[in-house]
Amino acid sequence: MLQWPTAGLLLLGVGIGFVVGILPGLGGAVTLALMLPFIYDMDPIPAFAFLLGMHAVVATTGDITSVLFGIPGEGTAVATIFDGHPMAKRGEAGRALGAVLFSSLVGAIIGAAVLAISVPIVRPLVLSFGPPEFFMLAMLGITFVVALAGGNLVRGFLMALLGFIVALVGLDPFTGKPRFAFGQLYLWDGLSIIPVILGLFAIPETLQLMSTHGAIAGEATGPITRVLDGVRDTFRHWWVTLRCSLIGVFIGIIPGMGGATAQFIAYAHAQQTSRTPEEFGKGSIEGVLAAGSVNNSKEGGAIIPTVAFGVPGSTAMAILLGAFLILGIVPGPDMLTKHLDITFSMVWVIVISNFLAVGLSFLLLRQLVWLTFIKGTWLVPFLLVLMTIGAYTTHNDVLDIVVMLVFGAVGWGAIRFGWPRAPFLLAFVLGPTAERYLFLSHQLYEWAFLLRPITLSLIFLALLGIAYSVRRERRDRRTASERSAGVAA
């Protein structure tokens, strides 16, 4: 990995990934696809150093814009906004960035370590999962909507239902008939996640920034001195960081679940197990650590099914599978014997590239954090241009910009009337996965698939999560009423 030209290509990939992660809307998968033509004449290890080095750092740097501007630089950095951006608004951007960057590095190391030791071990586990188990795993993710609903279960489930409906837009994958397309050819492919994310999260934050006529950070209190506090927070809450990293690895292993799903599930788990769940969404350092640590650990997990049995764990891994074919390598048992050096080179790429990306981020942190103290009227035009470019490059279609503006109105209305946005996005992401596996499960087993042992276990976990959240909401309401009665007395 340290020989030339492998090291040079790794540095080039990290540099491209660093920039792509900061620019909203481009995304690691899109950039991977654009870079595939350049590897035709490369040897396997330099090629994967370039491609994987680029992809491995996108999520890390994508957290930077999520914290500073409330705009995800990468689709898998959305959950970082929930607590990272509120911290930036109160002048703690340095602490939030220190925590999210260092926890991302820890997650990358854990993900790489699991990749190194578990490829032979995890094969029976993945092969034991069929469509029913994948469907129930998706539904288990939806039950975490309860934890993301901000204390209002009804609104959380209604927003999730709306997310499911929006996810159904496009051609029915089984009958080929248009659904909710309203005669528009553009809607036949469904709605892309990038314009939806930019609309839900970036547009409302930009409008709020424009309306305040001030900076993102309301307080100019030592933005740089708190960076080490963020690093210390990673060690102080090491148990949260470790658990969420392992959740990222597990979700990454499961094909089709995706990085956004992993981040939401890890974030919801951190909230449900926290001693101060009411602080989540308002600037909780535990929420920042949960979102940061899962970002890169999932990559180590996603590579496992890709390498071991040629089943891509995510969209980016599906593109990486194309790189295998270009280079004349067949994923499978050969990756554990004949091509073992390539497999372990991937482990080192993930570790080295994240060390480089986090180190570069810390070097530039002073300049990055001070962006939060620039007057909003100067930043808003630049941010609007970036968002417009990010939305347009999804399909090179002006209608993507229209979709972004429509969901910008939805996001603004949700903030204005106190409706949670996270349940909508989680259901939108998981909707196609749940629908596909439900159809396959019913075709194979009819409704008897609900009685399979693993499926029953996942149903039990889902019901347990809902019961816990209902109980917590009732307790919070009772506590609030007691406090109000005490004040009145």
Instruction: Give the pLDDT confidence of 140-199 residue by residue, as tens digits.
Output: 766 765 555 555 677 878 888 888 888 888 888 777 788 888 878 888 888 877 788 778
Find all residues with CB under 8 Å of 35, minimum gap 6, and list them.
Answer: 16, 50, 51, 54
Nearest to 399 by CA among 167, 162, 159, 199: 199
Residue 404 lies in a domain: yes
Which tokens in the block code for residue 428? Answer: 């939108």
pLDDT for 307 equals 75
Collect all residues with Cβ–Cβ distance below 8 Å to 437 and sequence separation of at least 6: 131, 132, 134, 135, 138
Q: What is the DSSP string of 83-135?
A: HHHHHHHTT-HHHHHHHHHHHHHHHHHHHHHHHHHHHHHHHHHHHT--HHHHH
Alpha carbon separation from 140 to 135, 239, 301 (Å, rounded): 9, 23, 19
The stretch 124-136 carries a mean pLDDT of 74
As a whole number, mean pLDDT of residues 7-33 equals: 73
**Residue 160 contacts by C-beta under 8 Å, 6 or more apart in sequence?**
142, 145, 423, 424, 426, 427
- Tens digit of pLDDT for each residue in 81-114? 778 888 877 777 778 888 888 888 888 888 888 8
Tell me whether residue 244 is in a domain.
yes
Q: How confident is the model at residue 222 (pLDDT cuts 50, 70, 90)?
A: very low
Q: How far is CA 364 from CA 97, 185, 219, 329, 367, in A?
A: 11, 45, 21, 39, 6
Of 29-33, 107-111, 162-166, 417-421, the range with the lowest mean pLDDT is 29-33
Q: Is residue 97 part of a domain?
A: yes
Inter-residue contact 160 to 419 (CB < 8 Å): no
Decide if pLDDT at 449 tops 80: yes
* Cβ pair 57, 30 in contact under 8 A: no
41: in domain: yes
d(CA 248, CA 259): 8
Q: What is the pLDDT of residue 221?
A: 41
329/319 Cα distance (integer angstroms): 14
Preceding peptide of 5 cis, ω within 30°: yes
Average of per-residue pLDDT across 387-400: 79
Under the banding of pLDDT at 50, 70 and 90, the label for residue 53 is: confident
Domain assignment present for 477: yes
Structural contact between residues 186 and 397, judged by C-beta atoms closer than 8 angstroms: yes
Q: Which value, to the nearest 10 degrees, does the dihedral of the CA atoms of residues 73, 78, 81, 82 take? A: 180
pLDDT for the residue 220 = 45
Whether residue 229 is contained in a domain is answered as yes
CA dist., res. 364 & res. 358, Å (int): 10
Instruction: Tell whether 56 is covered by a domain.
Output: yes
Q: Are 173 and 350 spatial neighbours (Cβ–Cβ below 8 Å)?
A: no
What pLDDT is attached to residue 485? 66
Q: What is the pLDDT of residue 223?
A: 44
Can you read off the two tokens belonging to residue 104?
A: 């991302």
Please check whether residue 17 is in contact with residue 53, taking contact to mean a CB–CB distance below 8 angstroms: yes
When the pLDDT of each residue in the chain is averaged and rounded to a whole number, the result is 76
Q: Are 137 and 253 in contact (CB under 8 A)?
A: no
Q: How many distinct structural domains can be found in the chain? A: 1
User: What Rg value do the Cα atoms of the chain yield, rounded?
Assistant: 22
Which of 312, 323, 300 minimizes the C-alpha distance to 257?
312
For residue 470, what are the domain limits? 6-488
Angle 31-194-144 from CA coordinates, rounded to 5°: 115
Residues 6 or more apart in contact with residue 273 via CB below 8 angstroms: 240, 243
How far apart are the C-alpha atoms of 116 and 345, rounded to whole Å?
10
CA contacts within 13 A on the Cβ side of 142: 25
Find the range with the poorest average confidence among 103-112, 164-173, 208-217, 336-345.
208-217
Mean pLDDT within 291-318: 72
Is position 1 within any domain? Answer: no
pLDDT, greater one: 254 or 460: 460
- Predicted local confidence at residue 137, as pLDDT: 73
Mean of pLDDT values over 34-52: 79
For residue 342, the one-letter residue type is I
